[in-house]
């Protein structure tokens, strides 16, 4: 079966083509699901048949061996005890002869012995092929390194001998890179996939090296054109990775893309250009994430993005650069909130909780930088804009996953917990005094309801912890500091009626939440 659009083979059930993302429709998706389910059943029954055939061959061989032993023992017994054998041997010999004749003439026995012999003659099957395991990973990396070092040593020798000038050296490097790319594509089409991928990866690396040499070593290429050339090389690497279905080419392109601003840096701050480049690079990664489920690429992109942002923030950030810094930081946050789960959501497959943990770290890093910059430029209550935005986004994503069904429950619970976490952080930022206790008690009740509804012990435990925090704050802080209750005199310092409305409201809401939680926990 092939996709009607890209003609690629369909290898798994789903609504969208795994190669080009073409929408196959609901009816075809259900039919593909039924087909692949049947094929799994056939594979499973085939394995059972092979196992039963092998077991039958083993039992049949033991039966023949035991029969030979019985014949030998009976012959020995006949030699020792003739009288006893005279009484029993005719019957035994007749039955043995009848059984032998039946075995020789029974077609069922002949058919059963044939599969047994065939099973014994089959070569053992291996679960993983060595070329598949090694070729696309370490052999690809070794091939790329070999190509790069080969070109490097050749250029070094030509430099020392004075054969080629600087412009010729850079042009030769570009030529080598193009040759590697063309040769890699040709070898890949001739079923030499791993060698072709090695050549393609080496071509990308040589192109990066040529651009760096033209800018940094010989000053032949100005910074802006060199920057643009490296952007194009990164885009080419990512495009080839998707077309060739080669994750390590994408990793190579990502590494080169990250090193581009480092290698071409002049030491001066150019915030808009750097952040725009990082945004374009991450948007390219997001586009790949919708097509391929490459967790390694997402993790590397996340790490390198925040590493570059951190390096820039430590060296060049100042309060007057606040707005570009916060805007680009929010863009990075949005990209890495979607990229880890983009492929699964698009194809309606299960979103694993492991993929969503990148989103957790992403929100923590983004919130830390936002908190630092906002409090430095404005005041603490303005941080609530970020926390409310994060909460709304995670609630929206959790709602979308919830509509897809229970198979997305793990990721749904994680996103819901993140939304509740930022709401919990928002409360003390916006509100003060007893309102914090009221909101925390309400959020604890919501967490408990969600945990019981989804049968998630982690949410239930978080609800109990938040209830304890709300109770301790109410008893140890609200009464003594806000309502002016004295632990020594057991009386209110400002009189019983001091803030009585706020005190009664906090008490009633806290008790009501605890009573509701008890009723929820008591329901079967």
Statement to judge: residues 456 and 472 lie in one domain: yes
What burial class does residue 383 get, using C-beta atoms within 10 Å of its C-beta: 0-12 exposed, 13-18 middle, 19+ buried?
buried
- Give the mean pLDDT of 426-431: 80
252 and 170: one domain? yes
pLDDT value, residue 518:
93
pLDDT on residue 140: 61
Phi, psi dihedrals of residue 334, rounded to the nearest 5°: -65, -40
**What's the rounded Cα separation, in Å, for the pair 42 and 62?**
30
Q: For residues 62 and 170, state if they share a domain.
A: no
Residues 416 and 437 in one domain: no
- Are 362 and 399 spatial neighbours (Cβ–Cβ below 8 Å)? no
Same domain, 66 and 160: no
Residue 209: pLDDT band with limits 50, 70, 90: confident
Alpha-carbon distance 215 to 226, whole Å? 7
Kindly give, in sequence order, each residue whose CB lies less than 8 Å from that of residue 146, ignoring residues fewer than 6 positions away: 198, 202
**127 falls within a domain:** no
Please tell me whether residues 159 and 193 are part of one structural domain. Answer: yes
- Cα–Cα nearest to 238, from 200, 192, 182: 200
Most confident listed range (91-95, 152-156, 496-500, 514-518): 514-518
Q: What is the mean pLDDT of residues 385-393?
A: 91
Indicate if 292 and 414 belong to the same structural domain: yes
CB neighbour list of residue 406: distance below 8 Å, 6 or more residues apart: none
Who wins on pLDDT, 120 or 458?
458
What mean pLDDT comes out for the span 213-224? 82
Do 201 and 247 meet the contact criterion of CB atoms below 8 Å apart?
no
Query: Please, are residues 170 and 210 in contact by the beta-carbon 8 Å criterion?
Result: yes
Same domain as 256, residue 327: no
Q: CB-side exposure of 91: number of CA atoms within 13 Å?
A: 5
Residue of 399 and 216 predicted with greater confidence: 399
Q: Which helix (H) or strand (E) holds 486?
A: strand 485-486
Using CA atoms, how far apart are residues 474 and 114, in angstroms rounded to an integer? 82
For residue 149, give the nearest of 199, 206, 200 by alpha carbon.
206
Structure tokens at 108: 């069922």
Check residue 414 and give its pLDDT: 72
Note whether residue 163 is domain-resident: yes
Tell whether 193 and 322 lie within a shared domain. Answer: no
Mean pLDDT check: name the lowest of 111-115, 143-147, 232-236, 399-403.
Answer: 111-115
Contact (CB, 8 A) for 520 and 449: yes
pLDDT at 113: 45
Domain boundary among 426, 457, 489: 426
Q: Is 407 found in the same domain as 445?
A: no
Residue 151 lies in a domain: yes
Q: Are residues 419 and 435 in the same domain?
A: no
∠ Cα 422 424 426 (to 5°): 70
Give the pairing of strands 485-486 and 491-492: antiparallel
Question: Would 503 be classed as within a structural domain?
Answer: yes
Judged against a pLDDT cut of 80, whether residue 167 lies above it is answered with yes
* Domain's final residue, options 216, 234, 266: 266
Range of the domain at 377: 285-426
Q: Is residue 453 part of a domain?
A: yes
Output the average pLDDT for the chain. 78
Distance CA 190, CA 184 (A): 10
Asked if the model's pLDDT at residue 105 lies above 80, the reply is no
Q: Is residue 97 part of a domain?
A: yes
Find the distance separating the first CA and the last CA of the chain, reported in whole Å. Answer: 49
Q: What is the pLDDT of residues 275-294, one digit of tens each?
A: 988 888 888 888 888 888 78
Instruction: Give the confidence band of 159 by pLDDT, cuts at 50, 70, 90.
Output: low
Give the torsion sign (CA, 152, 154, 160, 162). Answer: negative
Instruction: Over range 132-160, report the average pLDDT.
Output: 64
Q: Is residue 217 part of a domain?
A: yes
State whether 370 and 497 are in the same domain: no
Kindly tell me if the per-residue pLDDT of 99 is higher than 50: no
Count of structural domains within the chain: 4
Burial class of residue 401 (count of CB atoms within 10 Å of its CB; 0-12, 13-18, 19+):
buried
Three-state SS at 123: coil
Q: Give alpha helix (H) positions in 246-378.
A: 247-263, 271-291, 295-316, 322-338, 342-347, 353-377
Nearest alpha-carbon partner for 402 in 388, 386, 390, 419? 419
From 410, 426, 442, the end of a domain falls on 426
User: Is the pLDDT reported for residue 516 higher than 90?
Assistant: yes
Residue 219 domain flag: yes
pLDDT, mean of residues 450-460: 81
């Amino acid at each position: 079966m092939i996709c009607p659009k890209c003609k690629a083979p369909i290898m798994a059930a789903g609504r969208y083509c795994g190669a080009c993302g073409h929408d196959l429709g609901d009816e075809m998706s259900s039919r593909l699901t039924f087909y692949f389910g049947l094929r799994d059943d056939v594979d499973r029954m085939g394995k059972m048949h092979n196992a039963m055939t092998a077991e039958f061959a083993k039992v049949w061989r033991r039966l023949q061996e035991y029969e030979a032993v019985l014949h030998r023992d009976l012959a020995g017994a006949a030699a020792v005890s003739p009288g006893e054998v005279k009484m029993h041997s005719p019957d035994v010999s007749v039955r043995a002869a009848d059984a032998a004749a039946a075995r020789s003439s029974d077609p069922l026995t002949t058919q059963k012995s044939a599969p047994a012999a065939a099973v014994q003659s089959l070569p053992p099957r291996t679960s993983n092929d060595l070329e598949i395991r090694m070729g696309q990973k370490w052999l690809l990396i070794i091939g790329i390194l070999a190509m790069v070092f080969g070109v490097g040593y050749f250029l070094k020798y030509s430099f020392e001998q004075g054969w080629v000038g600087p412009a010729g050296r850079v042009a030769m490097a570009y030529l080598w890179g193009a040759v590697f790319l063309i040769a890699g594509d040709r070898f890949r089409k001739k079923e030499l996939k791993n060698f072709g991928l090695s050549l393609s990866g080496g071509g990308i690396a040589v192109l990066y090296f040529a651009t760096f040499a033209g800018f940094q070593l010989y000053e032949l290429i100005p910074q802006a054109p060199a920057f643009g050339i490296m952007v194009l090389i990164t885009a080419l690497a990512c495009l080839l990775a998707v077309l060739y279905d080669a994750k390590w080419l994408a990793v190579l392109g990502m590494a080169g893309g990250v090193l581009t601003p480092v290698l071409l840096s002049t030491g001066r701050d150019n915030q808009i250009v750097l952040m725009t480049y990082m945004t374009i690079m991450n948007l390219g990664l997001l586009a790949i994430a919708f097509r391929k489920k490459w967790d390694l690429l997402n993790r590397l992109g996340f790490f390198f993005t925040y590493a570059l942002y951190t390096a820039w923030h430590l060296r060049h950030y100042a309060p007057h650069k606040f707005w570009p810094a916060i805007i680009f930081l929010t863009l990075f946050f949005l990209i890495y909130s979607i990229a880890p789960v983009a492929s699964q959501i698009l194809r309606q497959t299960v979103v694993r909780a492991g993929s969503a943990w990148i989103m957790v770290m992403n929100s923590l890093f983004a919130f830390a930088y936002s908190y630092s910059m906002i409090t430095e430029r404005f005041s603490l209550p303005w941080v609530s804009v970020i926390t409310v935005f994060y909460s709304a986004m995670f609630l929206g994503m959790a709602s979308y996953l919830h509509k897809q069904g229970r198979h997305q429950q793990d990721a749904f619970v994680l996103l819901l917990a993140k939304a509740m976490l930022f709401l919990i952080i928002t409360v003390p930022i916006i509100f003060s005094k007893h309102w914090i206790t009221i909101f925390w008690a309400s959020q604890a009740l919501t967490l408990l309801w969600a945990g019981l509804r989804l049968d998630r012990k982690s949410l239930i435990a978080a609800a109990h912890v938040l209830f304890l925090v709300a109770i301790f704050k109410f008893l140890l802080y609200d009464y003594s500091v806000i309502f002016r209750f004295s632990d020594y005199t057991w009386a209110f310092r400002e009189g019983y009626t001091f803030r009585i409305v706020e005190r009664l409201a906090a008490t009633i809401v806290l008790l009501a939440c605890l009573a509701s939680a008890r009723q929820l926990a008591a329901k079967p």
